[in-house]
Amino acid sequence: MSQLHFYAMGLDLHRVLESIERLAGEPVKYVQSGFSVSLDFSIYRTYREIPGLGRASAPDWLGGASYLVLDAAEPVGLEHKVFPDFERYGVFEGVNPTGISFSPSGAFDGKVVIYGRLATMALTEQSKALYRRATTALKKHFRRVDYAWVGPEAFEALELGWNLTQRVNAPRDLSLKKPA
């Protein structure tokens, strides 16, 4: 498994996702991932359709929005789980081995930026190539600060004293620090 953690705000994400979508003319799609009681998983043909991109939807990265990024022509695989009292449908990389996981970063209430993540289980050559494509685009626009990559807009927020963190209620000493 490979993963890359990052901090980004609206414009930062737009730059990276625009690069991913334009790279080599190979279209991608973004599929809302996770579990649901129905087969109603949103599919976005471009990042511009993703609602609230650049704003964190939860006070921590695990509770926020997450997407499976796939080549546009690739069918979406679903997992169906039946339990004694209920059933769920799931979309995630395990049943879509050619895709990668994308959890967008974004600003949250107050002066907080919740981090995001690109990840792959690297189960196929397609997923490895898509991950390289995404991380190359991100690294082209972002800079490395400690353990994470930081977009220009998020870096400016860091310099202005914003809290760049995995979760709002984490101790501040666990937050990303301004470089010296």
When pLDDT is cut at 50, 70 and 90, the band that residue 25 belongs to is: low
77 near 91, Cβ under 8 Å?
Answer: yes
Q: How far apart are CA 66 and CA 121, in angstroms?
A: 15
pLDDT at 24 over 60: no
- 39-65: b or e for each residue (b if 16 or more CB lie within 10 Å)? eebeebeebeebeebbbbeebbbeebb
When pLDDT is cut at 50, 70 and 90, the band that residue 40 belongs to is: confident
Q: How far apart are CA 163 and CA 165, in angstroms?
A: 6
pLDDT tens per residue, range 76-133: 999 999 999 999 999 999 999 999 999 999 999 889 999 999 999 988 999 999 999 9
pLDDT for 134 equals 94
Average pLDDT, the chain: 94
**Strand 106-108 relative to strand 54-55, pairing:** parallel
Q: How far apart are CA 152 and CA 149, in angstroms?
A: 10
Q: How far apart are CA 135 and CA 101, in angstroms?
A: 12
- 2-27: b or e for each residue (b if 16 or more CB lie within 10 Å)? eebbbbbbbebbbbbbebbbeeeeee
pLDDT tens per residue, range 144-172: 999 999 999 999 999 999 999 999 999 99
Q: 34: part of which helix (H) or strand (E)?
A: strand 34-36
